[in-house]
Amino acid sequence: MLQVSVLREQTEAVLAGLAKKHYKTAEADVQAILALDLRRKELQTSHDQAQAEANKLARQIGDLMKAGSKAEADTLKLRTAELKQQTKAHAEELVDVEKEQQQLLYKLPNLPHSSVPQGRSADDNEVVREVGNKPTLAAGAKPHWELIEQYDIIDFALGNKIAGAGFPVYKGQGARLQRALINFFLDEARQAGYVEIQPPVLVNEASGYGTGQLPDKEGQMYHDAQDNLYLIPTAEVPITNLYRDEIVALEALPIRNAGYTPCFRREAGSWGAHVRGLNRLHQFDKVEIVQIAHPDHSYAQLEEMLSHIEGLLQKLELPYRVLRLCGGDMGFTSALTYDLEVWSAAQQRWLEVSSCSNFESYQANRLKLRYRPENGKTQLLHTLNGSALALPRIVAALLENNQQADGIALPAVLHSYCGFSKIG
């Protein structure tokens, strides 16, 4: 959530940033927020003045009663009653104004970093680098949705039977590969200094608002109306919310956490080959890395996180590329996002497997996540996260890129985790 002080003091820069994200009602919403803030201040001042006058009169009434001047005291009591009604009315209007202002602030996306390129869609994203050689497959190579049937390692029909489309059942070597990848990713995160967290996969409404999934992505989340809980779209939500309403000691920064969770997305996408098989699911496994950083160091931490994720892809021997997302393709809460995509040799296209983002103070403002400088009042921290990694498209690329006549060869780094070196 953007700070009102930023909207007030840097209005033109805010409007330019919102325009870069193609937010259509920027000027009207910003002006409405600033008008509400002015009204809030007027109400608060009137409330405080009336309260101060009432307190002063209360002391005078006490003195008059002690002096036997009941008539004068009664006159002042009438004024005190008026002031009491006035402060009550101001307090009630103040609540309404603050609520309306808060809802408008929730609508505004984060401002993009200066390095974010202009653009409206994925076609406008900037390719930062491409690493690795794309494999050349033999004639008759199959896409992963045919390979999983051939080797009987993932069953979409069974998943559809017990849950619905987009909920695959992993079995045999497919299940073991899932577990191997999760353990590999978690071990790598721990070695990089991340503390492992096993969070709940259900979160309350306050957590959804804290990291910005609500109200922006409400329709994309599975919701239990009876208990008003949401299935998480990513471990970012519960892990970042561990620090909601916290003042973090400077010496504890940066905080590094990693966690594995299943993830749930209601919007699994449209029909077609680009969402077929493992390309897009309602439920999938992912290891997430999260950092809480000092504002002066958050972009260095972002580069560190990006390097960690690239290291995983290199160890998995997957060709990949790094994209810097343009303003129109960025997430609602992000200030700067790198996407990492692996090459799918059978599909002949890039598959996104990770987003790595700096949210600057946007989430921290919602979370009331702060630090206290050595001298001065508390300041907002910066939050960051990245997929390290999401499994479905990693598995798709591993199957397609490594298919051979007698099976699917796995990268050496997974052999000890899987207990086998080849599927088939």
CA distances from 84 to 53, 61, 185, 415 (A): 10, 15, 61, 75
Q: Would you say 330 and 384 are in contact if contact means Cβ atoms under 8 Å apart?
A: no
* Average pLDDT rounded to a whole number, residues 370-381: 92
Mean pLDDT, all residues of the chain: 95
Domain 4-107 has CATH 1.25.60.10: no
Chain region(s) in the chain for CATH 3.30.930.10 = 122-423
Question: Binding site annotation covers 349?
Answer: no
Q: What is the pLDDT of residue 61?
A: 87
Give CATH for domain 122-423: 3.30.930.10
Q: What is the pLDDT of residue 374?
A: 84
Q: What is the pLDDT of residue 147?
A: 98
Does 74 score more than 80 pLDDT?
yes
Q: pLDDT for 102-124, tens place per residue?
A: 999 999 999 999 999 999 999 99
The answer to the question of whether 385 is labelled as a binding residue is yes
Residue 378 known to bind ligand? no
At 345 the pLDDT is 96
The pLDDT, as a whole number, for residue 341 is 98
Question: For the segment 211-255, what is each residue's pLDDT rounded down to a tens digit?
Answer: 999 997 778 999 999 999 999 999 999 999 999 999 999 999 999
Tell me the mean pLDDT in the region 64-93: 90
Lowest mean pLDDT among 55-59, 68-72, 215-219: 215-219
CB neighbour list of residue 335: distance below 8 Å, 6 or more residues apart: 110, 111, 112, 113, 116, 357, 358, 359, 360, 362
Using one digit for the tens of pLDDT, what is the confidence trace for 292-350?
999 999 999 999 999 999 999 999 999 999 999 999 999 999 999 999 999 999 999 99
Question: For residue 271, with 0-12 CB atoms within 10 Å meaning exposed, 13-18 middle and 19 or more buried, which class applies?
Answer: exposed
pLDDT at 272 over 70: no
Cβ 322 vs Cβ 306: under 8 Å: yes
pLDDT value of residue 275: 80
Residues of the chain with CATH 1.10.287.40: 4-107
Task: Give the confidence band of 47 by pLDDT, cuts at 50, 70, 90.
Answer: very high
pLDDT at 219: 85
Q: Is the pLDDT assigned to residue 267 strictly greater than 90?
A: no
Determine contact, residues 366/107, Cβ cutoff 8 Å: no
d(CA 299, CA 362): 14
Q: Regarding predicted confidence, which is higher, 267 or 297? A: 297
Residue 190 assigned ligand-binding role: no
pLDDT 10s digits, 377-400: 999 999 999 999 999 999 999 999
Gap between the terminal Cα atoms of the chain:
50
Which H, E and C letters describe the chain, residue by residue? CCCHHHHHHCHHHHHHHHHHCCCCCHHHHHHHHHHHHHHHHHHHHHHHHHHHHHHHHHHHHHHHHHCCCHHHHHHHHHHHHHHHHHHHHHHHHHHHHHHHHHHHHHHCCCCCCCCCCCCCCHHHCEEEEEECCCCCCCCCCCCHHHHHHHCCCEEHHHHHHHCCCCCCEECCHHHHHHHHHHHHHHHHHHHCCCEECCCCCEEEHHHHHHHCCCCCCHHHCCEECCCCEEECCCCHHHHHHHHCCCEECHHHCCEEEEEEEEEECCCCCCCCHHHCCCCCCCEEEEEEEEEEECCCCHHHHHHHHHHHHHHHHHHCCCCEEEEECCHHHCCCCCCEEEEEEEEECCCCEEEEEEEEEECCCHHHHHHCCEECCCCCCCEECEEEEEEEEEHHHHHHHHHHHCEECCEEECCHHHHHHHCCCEEC
- pTM: predicted TM-score of the whole model, two decimal places: 0.93
Residue 53 counted as an annotated binding residue: no
Backbone angles phi and psi of 338, in degrees to 5:
-105, 130
Band of the pLDDT at 196, cuts 50, 70, 90?
A: very high
- 234 labeled part of a ligand binding site: yes
- Is 265 annotated in a binding site? The answer is yes
pLDDT at 218: 79
How many angstroms separate the CA atoms of 378 and 370, rounded? 6
267 is in an annotated binding site: yes
Kindly give, in sequence order, each residue whose CB lies less than 8 Å from that of residue 307, ignoring residues fewer than 6 positions away. Answer: none
Cα 415–420–421 angle (5° rounding)?
60
Whether the predicted pLDDT of 268 surpasses 70? no
